[in-house]
Amino acid sequence: MPLKVIKNTLQQKPTVDYNGPHKQIELATCWMPYLNNPLLNKLYKENISFTERWYLETRRLINEGMWNHPLLTSVLLDEDLKARLIKSTIIDGAVMRTIINDSTLPEFQMSASVNLKKLLKWCSFFVSLPDSHETLVALNDQSRD
């Protein structure tokens, strides 16, 4: 039996490129006071969210093999802190996704897309962190100091 080509009958909305000025949209949950850390405040600029500070510093400590650093220890062992970091990325990510899908807010869609990409990266990083130093060291194939 020969195949028959069926014409696409779905009506698609024409995409309209937005050429106006783009506006910045800020993260909200990633700035919650319970994620604030005085040491991270000294290391990073004021415009970097608390969740991003935790991400950047934890990532740096792992890359440098500083397994016993108090910040890394607190993220690995404090389930409440890790859950709050993950939750902050999920909530702000949902907001960004809503803005991206809302055609009435084209001036914010570029900013929301950039923010969503960062939030997904942070979320996957915090979710993938193990619950112990031993597991982290074994995954990175390093000896513990």
* pTM attached to this predicted model: 0.80
Residue 15's pLDDT band, with cuts at 50, 70 and 90, is low
Cα distances (Å, whole numbers) of residue 7 to 11, 23, 49: 12, 40, 50
Q: What is the pLDDT of residues 84-109, one digit of tens each?
A: 999 999 999 999 999 999 888 888 98
The domain locations on the chain are 46-140
Nearest to 50 by CA among 69, 75, 67: 75
Q: What is the pLDDT of residues 61-82, one digit of tens each?
A: 988 988 889 999 999 889 999 9
Residue 144's pLDDT band, with cuts at 50, 70 and 90, is very low
